[in-house]
Structure 1
Amino acid sequence: MVRAIMHGCNGAMGQVITNLIAEDPGIELVAGVDINTEQKNGYPVFASLAECDVEADVVIDFASAKATDALLAAMVEKKLPGVLCSTGLSEEQLEAVKEASTKVAILKSANMSLGINTLFKVLKMVTPILAEAGFDMEIVEKHHNRKLDAPSGTALALADVMNETMDNAYAYKFDRTQERKKRDKMEIGIQAVRGGTIVGEHEVIFAGTDEVITISHTAYSRAIFAKGAIAAAKYLAGKPAGYYDMKDVIG
């Protein structure tokens, strides 16, 4: 039985994960961490991981990026592996994650869903073929009106996967409103839409002469991210220090 701590337990994703783990015989939540220390689900809740005195095998993080620095420090101090699912981390924080992974096992993924991680594999295969054929590449992502970061971490990860297959020769274009000129062939456009309760949509467009190929992924529920995070937590428990991602979980 894997013993987990839920970081951000009283948030929307924290509650989804809490409910799913309650039905999973292979993992249990022994504690939660949240700035709101209300105990909603029967396990103790602490204001920070540093204050948590409950023994555990792994921490699952779905809190704000603002809490990442303190989380990493506590993980290293407690030698506690962690699945980091928060988005919007700064470049400095991403470097801190890599540094911490030299001391404790960390799994960081821009998106925890099986579908998105399969899409990464598909893009590695098709991008070189279509880019060499002269197709323009664009990404459109859509999320709910409460999402803070734009573009999404997943959209950036999709672009990175595509760009890496082309030796990082492409620049990213986030805003076309500030200039009036023909589209540069060596760019990947990334556009963000925010509205309503959209859980998450990502569309990769390859636009060529007289034909368009579109590859898309739509999330209808937060549960897909929660299930991925739980699978990652089970995988990471007991692993040696290192930097892991969802490719390791799905093989």
Structure 2
Amino acid sequence: MGLNILLIGCNGAMGRTITSIVSDNERYQICAGVDRTAIHDQYPVYQHISGIKEPIDVIVDFSSKELLEPILAFAVERKLPVVLCTTGYDDVDYRAIKEVASKVPVFKSANMSYGVNVVLKLLEQATKLMSEGYDIEIVEKHHNLKKDAPSGTARMMINTINHALSEERSCVYGREGNETKRQENEIGVHSLRGGTIAGEHSAIFAGKDEVIEINHSALSKRVFAEGALKAAMYLHGRNPGLYDMNSMIENN
């Protein structure tokens, strides 16, 4: 028997992708799902997490930030590790996540792609090497159904850049209405939404007579689903704490 997963948001795009992968992988099995549409032909689906009775090894959440509170409460009640793949959390949410991580293992990443997290490590090194004489801009592109902007990954890129700098730079979101010239101590952030773009992120270092770009393009949602499953396997059996992709990369 594989790892028993409770999949939150099972009938969404990411949930369906995970279900498809798991159907051909003996290392995992979805024992139950939670979704507003309580219909599925492979496992039982509940509209409310409180009604679940199946044995669970780990929770994987690809729903929305509005479900964070009941998910965390259920994880603590059942003493279950939880992989949070949702974006758009605010400071109150992050405080709740940290508090729960003192009781159960919590894996949190705004982007579950292994490649994106390798890119973040490259971005940190590039920022240190080009901290002077280069303007930094971030461009992210996603499908037309994505609600939050900038994306969680773009925010991770901003945090990575500022962590690598001796002095943080402020963010400027778009250029409309800004009639002053670009300042050296800023990071331009631009969000595009359209079509079915799975996710594209670029960090642009524009210097005198040269431009360096660090890019990542997700060609399908499968890379995020596979990353979430790896995180679930990694988290199972670990002590309480807050884990992320860096934890998993360093462990490997």
Query: Normalising to structure 1: TM-score of the pair?
Result: 0.96
Q: Deviation per CA, 1:7-40, whole angstroms, max 9, x where unpaired?
A: 11111100100110111111111111112111x2
Aligned to 2:155: 156
Shift of 1:198: 0.8
Q: Distance in 1 between matches of 2:14 and 2:48?
A: 17
Q: Distance in 1 between matches of 2:116 and 2:167?
A: 21
Q: How many residues align?
A: 249
Aligned to 2:49: 49
185-194 vs 163-172, greater mean Cα deviation: 163-172
2:103 aligned residue: 103
CA distance in 2, matches of 1:76, 1:178: 47
Helix, strand or coil at the partner of 1:25? coil
List per-residue Cα deviations over 1:125-158 (Å, max 9, x = no partner): 11011013x1000000000111000110000101
1:129 paired residue number:
129
Where does residue 62 of structure 1 map in the other structure? 62
Alignment correspondent of 1:197: 196
Distance 1:41 1:250 in 2: 35
Gaps of 5+ in 1: none
The letter for the 2-side match of 1:77 is E
Higher deviation after alignment, 147-156 or 92-101? 92-101
3-state SS of 1:23 partner:
coil
Distance 1:22 1:237 in 2: 20
Q: Find the residue that maps to 1:243 and give its secondary structure.
A: strand
How far is the alpha carbon of 1:167 from its aligned partner? 4.0
Report the 3-state secondary structure (helix = DSSP H, G, I; strand = E; otherwise coil) of the residue aligned with 1:151: coil
Cα distance change on mapping 1:59 and 1:168 into 2, 3 Å: farther
**Deviant stretches of 4+, over 2 Å:** none
User: What residue in structure 2 maps to residue 245 of structure 1?
Assistant: 244
Distance 2:28 2:185 in 1: 46
1:104 and 1:167, CA in 2 relative to 1: closer, same or farther beyond 3 A? farther
Which residue pairs with 1:142 in the alignment?
A: 141
* Structure 2 counterpart of 1:13: 14
| Alpha-carbon offset, residue 177 of structure 1 | 1.5
State the SS of the aligned residue for 1:184. coil
Give the share of equivalent positions with the same residue, in percent: 44
The Cα of 1:102 is off from its aligned counterpart by 0.7
- SS of match in other structure, 1:233: helix
Deviations 1:57-112 (A, max 9, x none): 10100001111121111111111111100111122111111111111100000100
1:180 is matched with 179
CA deviations on 1:178-218 (whole Å, 9 max, x unpaired) are: 32101111111110000111111101100000000011011
Q: Which residue of 2 aligns with 1:37?
A: 38
**Aligned-pair CA distance for 1:46:** 1.3
* Residue in 2 that maps onto 1:165: 164
Normalised by the length of structure 2, the TM-score is: 0.96
2:107 is matched by which residue type in structure 1?
L
What RMSD, in angstroms, separates the aligned Cα atoms of the two structures?
A: 1.1
Equivalents in 2 of 1:9, 1:111: separation in Å? 18
Query: 2 CA distance for matches of 1:104 and 1:120?
Result: 27
After TM superposition, give the deviation of residue 168 of structure 1 in Å: 5.1
Which position in structure 2 is the counterpart of 1:87?
A: 87
Point out where structure 2 has 5 or more consecutive residues left out of the alignment.
none
